[in-house]
Amino acid sequence: MAEMKTRKKTEIEEGYDLAQCEEAKADLCSAAEEFISEFQECEGNVYYSTFTKASRALWDLEHARRVQKCTKVGNEWDFESSITGKYRYPHLR
């Protein structure tokens, strides 16, 4: 199999990834605050939807951090080779 053609991320793409991480952090803080508040008010019982929202916010942050660590852009995603897919950034062109 031929090796995928890649390029280094641009500063704009790196900035976008950083902004996505910051947004995900804010969303996680909001979801955690809601979860904790509901946990206290309901004496340990939490609605499944609140749990799901917090769980999803955590996954989003983990994903954003993983993408931010990638240093190259290629035709396809390959996290093991530190490559994000070029389709992540079309709106930046």
pLDDT at 1 over 60: no
Which whole number is the average pLDDT over 84-89? 89
Q: What is the pLDDT of residues 25-39, one digit of tens each?
A: 999 999 999 999 999
Q: Which two tokens stand for residue 33?
A: 């605050």
In a domain, 2, yes or no: no
Instruction: Give the position of tokens 């079309």.
Output: 90
Structural domains of the chain, count: 1
Position 3 scores a pLDDT of 73
pLDDT at 52 over 80: yes
Q: Band the pLDDT of 2: cuts 50, 70, 90.
A: low
Domain hosting residue 69, numbered range: 8-92
Percentage of the chain modeled with pLDDT above 70? 97
In a domain, 1, yes or no: no
- The answer for residues whose C-beta is within 8 angstroms of residue 10's C-beta and 6 or more apart is 92
In a domain, 65, yes or no: yes
Cα–Cα dist 22/27, whole Å: 9
